[in-house]
Amino acid sequence: MQRHLWLVPFLLAVAVAGAWWFGIRNADKSPELPVYLRGAERMAAGEEIYRRGTDDKPFTYPPFAAVPMLPLRALPAKWQAPAWFLVGYALLLAIAAYVHRWAATAWPDAGPPRIWWLWLAVVLIAGRHVSSVFENQSNDLLIAAPLALGGALWCRRRRSMPYLAAAAAALAAAIKATPLLFVEVFVVRRLWWAAGALALAFAVLSLLPDLCFPRLDHRSWVGAWYDVNLRGLSAGGTADAAGAWNPHSVLNQSLSGTLTRLLSAPRVVDTDFVRTDLALLDLPPWLLRAVVLLMQAAVVAAVACCVLRARASIDGAADADLARRRFAFGEWGAVLCAMVLLSPQSSKSHFCVLLLPAAFCADRLLRGRRDWPLLALVAGSALLASGTTKDLLGQKAGNFVLGLGSVTWSTVLLLSASLRALAAAVAPADKGRAHG
């Protein structure tokens, strides 16, 4: 493993340099960092942070998301962006080091690690999403890091590990609510106390700003977040709020967002990211909702299948501890795929969490006998993900491809690949192949 460890900072340097390049090329974009800092400043003063319709880019995250930004306010303005960059880079380095260590582990029933090829697949599938985090100065690595930690804890067998993994998922959920989907893992595994621990930790963290930074109007931050950002959402719907989200924006790569663009014509064209040439059909609202709900139910069912198949692989292994480290990684990654698919709003930077499922699927592909369905799914996911680069396609064509849901369908293929990788019989690769 040590001989390949230098790959981690090297690949991260490439990713960050790419983010810097894309940021220079897209200098007209407004970054997310000022939004977070403004929310933190207002929270510290007890003022309203949810001002949809008055701010150009309103703060829409749960109230706890403003808390990690409070220390950044103490820095001079010119140092805030560099400090935020270093925080993101450190978190990314930690995530990549963990993935690298996991991928370099010797599995007794598989061929040798092929690190070079694995990282190539990971960069093709998730690299552009990671660079988007730095390009947009988003907080997605604050969400990805505790989820990666939760995955590492989930892969260990000690009795306390499910509860610690649940706490890590709750921390991510307090910043962006969609990691609450990890409750499904604990429920399917019948770990009821762990599911309750996740819900309790999420509630405590969400109410913490009310205790530490009470509002001047004595309302609850959570209540304000719900009233402004969640009340208008419904099952089968997508993010739709004047002054914040247009349901037909090509930037929304969630499953509901892509299906809304493809199966209904836009009613309001209020930004450059809403196109009128994407709709294949114009379904009535009730039928569109039914289609979205059906697809979302399929994603939830796929996650349940991944959890059950991982459990079967672990229970049937001679070395349960090593098998858990291998296959639990896959089921955790499957939930990460579902998390961004089921969110009402998922921008490209949110998909940086695909680092983990991409590594799992690539590892299974490279260290097992030839599995053509798995190869097709991984290759298709990489092709669709890397095809979103506007420098390759141009701004107009890039937005068109994005509008068709290239990132969405890439993630659907990656979730399908995770299901295939967990279901396929373990078959060692040719032991004579060279290490990557």
Question: Considering the entire predicted model, what is its pTM?
Answer: 0.90
The predicted pLDDT at position 144 comes to: 96
Query: Is the Cβ–Cβ distance between 324 and 156 less than 8 Å?
Result: yes
Number of separate domains in the chain: 1
- What pLDDT is attached to residue 12? 60
Which residues in the chain show pLDDT less than 70?
Answer: 1-29, 53, 232-233, 236, 239-244, 269-272, 387-395, 424-436
Residue 435 lies in a domain: no
In a domain, 430, yes or no: no
**Contacting residues for 322 by C-beta, under 8 A, at least 6 apart:** 107, 108
Residue 400 has what pLDDT? Answer: 85
Residue 71 located in a structural domain: yes
Query: What b/e readout covers 15-26, taking b as 16+ CB neighbours within 10 angstroms?
Result: bbebbeebbeee
pLDDT in tens, 64-98: 999 999 999 889 988 888 889 889 988 998 999 89
pLDDT for 384-434, tens place per residue? 998 655 556 666 777 888 889 999 999 999 999 999 999 865 444 444 333
3-class SS at 28? coil
pLDDT at 22: 47
Residue 73 lies in a domain: yes
H-only helix segments in 104-218:
115-122, 128-136, 140-154, 161-175, 183-188, 192-212
* Cα→Cα distances 185→4, 192, 419, Å: 33, 10, 14
Can you give the residue range of the structural domain that contains 350?
A: 2-219+233-423
Q: What is the CA radius of gyration of the chain?
A: 21
CA distances from 36 to 33, 67, 140 (A): 5, 9, 12
CA gap 177, 171 in Å, rounded: 10
Give the residue among 381, 378, 406, 376 at the shortest CA–CA distance from 392: 406
Report the pLDDT value the prediction gives residue 128, as an integer from 0 to 100. Answer: 87
In a domain, 228, yes or no: no
Residue 227 covered by a domain? no
* Inside any domain, residue 224: no
In degrees, to the nearest 5, what angle opens at C-alpha 372 toward C-alphas 368 and 378? 85
